[in-house]
């Protein structure tokens, strides 16, 4: 049941946490995190990532959920309601645009995961299969029709969940998909760490070598932490508005970020030992999942089953994150136009089909079209992760720290004094939101620019 006074909402706190964890765990964990770890020296990068996630990202996640639950409604409305100022609505609109940009390349990679899941199901990557995974992937992603068809299929699956609504669509599927995802990643991890020669990969993940850590790695860790926890894109504002009044927001923020980080480290454990066991270079970039892994599967005992499990996990992770991106845009559109959920979702899907197709084509025929030296796909990824999400995060902390203020923040995280939250912890969290996070975000932005 939705609480009185709320148009839509999650039926339980577990449903809310499952949906938010579903948003956080995505391509960022399985596709990006392992190759960033590979490129930035293994364990040392993981340690920096953990510190940033604990000290900076988790408080921002909490700040977003405070704006969402206190403000209610779509992000722009929520910002306006908590601050009492109309201009803050722009921050919500920016969140909607951010989600749109992320979603435009996300649906393309989502389409690739469907293709690779199907290839795995017909045993293309079983042990002993003769494939040139590099040529297979390049041939597929540069094609002008097939990847677009798969991304449209991905959009269709997502829109069904959105049209079913918050409880029957998002909450129900998240409660089903999240436990499945954790089981899958643990199974794949067990297979990977028991391969002969896996020890070197495990050592790489857990023995820190700080000499390989550069300032750029720290910036990458911050950007990845933001992307992985879906920060700065109004996700937690949107889901916060659907959160029951009785939920403990501080505990939820901790559970969401611990689950997401645990999953990312598990993904590293599932991928790195296998990469080392087969003597492949761990610094291979974005192609790690679609080129290196299929090659490894064909040499590995139980490779066929593992590839199906892996691409199924990647698919579930991609869908549950795409649902949250889609929901931010749809709820914003519903609130701006007054149109129904179904109509708004269809409009979003149509526009996304167009922008997703352009992103897909930019890997092939439109490769020559570049903006500041990058193709459109890479530019969308770069702009949203490095610029829009960090600006969104900055607006969130400034809103809570400097406009909403400590009293209202405490009132919301204690649900009007009905939930006990340690006062010292609450003060530290507010201090981080008000002073530390803005300084770190602005400092990072300055160092990226210069
Ligand atoms: N957190 C997702 C991932 O790691 O793939 C990406 C994402 C989802 C970013 C939703 C932003 C968002 F609103």
Tokens matching residue 337: 């136009």
When pLDDT is averaged across residues 266-271 and rounded to a whole number, the result is 90
The answer to whether residue 149 sits within a structural domain is yes
* Pocket residues: Cβ below 6 A from ligand 1: 23-24, 26-29, 99, 102, 227-228, 230, 233, 235, 321, 324-325
6-10, 129-133, 353-357: which has the minimum mean pLDDT?
A: 6-10
- Domain count for the chain: 1
Distance 365 CA to ligand 1 centre (A): 28
Least confident of 191-205, 325-339, 386-400: 191-205
3-state secondary structure of 93: helix
Asked if the structure places residue 366 within a domain, the reply is yes
Length of the chain: 450
Confidence of residue 175 (pLDDT cuts 50, 70, 90): very high
- What number does the ligand 1 atom closest to the CA of 229 have? 1
pLDDT digits (tens, 9 = 90+) for 136-165: 999 999 999 999 999 999 999 999 999 999
**Which range of residues forms the domain containing residue 438?**
13-449
The yes-or-no verdict on residue 5 having pLDDT over 90 is no
Judging by beta carbons within 10 Å of its beta carbon (0-12, 13-18, 19+), is residue 279 exposed, middle or buried? exposed
Domain annotation covers residue 6: no
CATH number at residue 25: 1.10.4160
The distance from CA 327 to its chain's CA centroid, rounded to whole angstroms, is 14
Query: Could you read off the pLDDT of 281-294 as tens digits, one per residue?
Result: 777 666 788 988 89
| Residue 412 domain flag | yes
- Report the alpha-carbon distance of residue 186 to residue 41 in Å, rounded: 24
- Tell me the Cα Rg of the chain: 21
Ligand 1 centroid–CA 310 distance in Å is 19
Residue-wise pLDDT for 207-256, tens only, equals: 888 887 888 888 889 999 999 999 999 999 999 999 999 999 999 999 99
Q: What is the pLDDT of residue 275?
A: 87
Query: Using one digit for the tens of pLDDT, what is the confidence trace for 343-379?
Result: 999 999 999 999 999 999 999 999 999 888 899 999 9
1 occurs within a structural domain: no
* 3 found inside a domain: no
Residue 2 has pLDDT above 70, yes or no: no
pTM of this prediction?
A: 0.94
**Higher-confidence residue: 270 or 412?**
412
Give domain status of residue 8, yes or no.
no
The continuous run of DSSP H or E covering 442 comes out as helix 437-449
Whether residue 97 lies inside any domain: the answer is yes
E strand or H helix that includes residue 28? none
Mean per-residue pLDDT, 312-330 = 97
Phi-psi domain of 197 (left: phi exceeds 0; alpha: psi -120 through 50; beta: other): left
Can you read off the two tokens belonging to residue 409? Answer: 């923040």
Cα 102 to ligand 1 centroid, rounded to whole Å: 8
């Amino acid at each position: 049941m939705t609480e009185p006074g709320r148009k839509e909402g999650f039926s339980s706190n577990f449903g809310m946490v499952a949906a938010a964890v579903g948003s956080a765990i995505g391509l960022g964990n399985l596709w990006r995190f392992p190759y960033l770890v590979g490129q930035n020296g293994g364990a040392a990068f993981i340690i920096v990532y953990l510190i940033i996630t604990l000290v900076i990202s988790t408080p921002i996640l909490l700040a977003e959920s405070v704006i969402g639950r206190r403000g209610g409604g779509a992000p722009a409305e929520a910002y306006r309601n908590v601050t009492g100022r109309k201009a803050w609505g722009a921050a919500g609109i920016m969140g909607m645009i951010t989600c749109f940009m992320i979603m435009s390349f996300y649906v393309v990679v989502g389409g690739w995961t469907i293709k690779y899941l199907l290839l795995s199901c017909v045993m293309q990557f079983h042990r002993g299969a003769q494939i040139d995974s590099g040529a297979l992937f390049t041939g597929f992603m540069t094609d002008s029709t097939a990847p677009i068809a798969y991304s449209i299929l991905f959009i269709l699956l997502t829109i069904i969940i959105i049209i079913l609504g918050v409880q029957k669509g998002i909450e129900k599927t998240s409660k089903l998909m999240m436990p499945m995802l954790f089981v899958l990643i643990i199974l794949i991890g067990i297979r990977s760490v028991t391969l002969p020669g896996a020890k070197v990969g495990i050592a790489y993940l857990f023995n820190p070598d700080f000499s390989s850590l550069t300032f750029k790695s720290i910036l990458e860790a911050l950007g990845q932490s933001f992307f992985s926890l879906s920060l700065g894109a109004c996700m937690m504002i949107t889901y916060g508005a659907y959160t029951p009044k009785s939920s403990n927001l501080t505990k939820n923020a901790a559970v969401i970020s611990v689950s997401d980080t645990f999953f990312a480290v598990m993904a590293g454990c599932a991928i790195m030992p296998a990469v080392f066991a087969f003597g492949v270079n761990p610094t291979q970039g974005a192609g790690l999942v679609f080129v290196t892994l299929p090659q490894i599967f064909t040499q590995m005992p139980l490779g066929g089953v593992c590839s199906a499990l892996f691409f199924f996990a990647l698919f579930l992770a991609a869908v549950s994150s795409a649902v949250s991106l889609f929901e931010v845009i749809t709820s914003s559109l519903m609130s701006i136009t007054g149109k129904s959920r179904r109509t708004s979702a269809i409009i979003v899907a149509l526009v996304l089909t167009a922008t997703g197709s352009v992103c897909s084509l930019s890997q092939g025929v439109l490769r020559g079209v570049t903006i500041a030296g990058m193709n459109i796909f890479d530019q969308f990824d770069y702009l949203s992760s490095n610029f829009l999400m960090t600006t969104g995060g900055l607006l969130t902390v400034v809103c809570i720290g400097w406009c909403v203020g400590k009293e209202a923040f405490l009132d919301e995280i204690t649900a009007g004094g009905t939930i006990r939250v340690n006062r010292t912890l609450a003060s530290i969290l507010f201090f981080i939101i008000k002073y530390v996070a803005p300084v770190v975000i602005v400092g990072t932005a300055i160092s990226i620019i210069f």
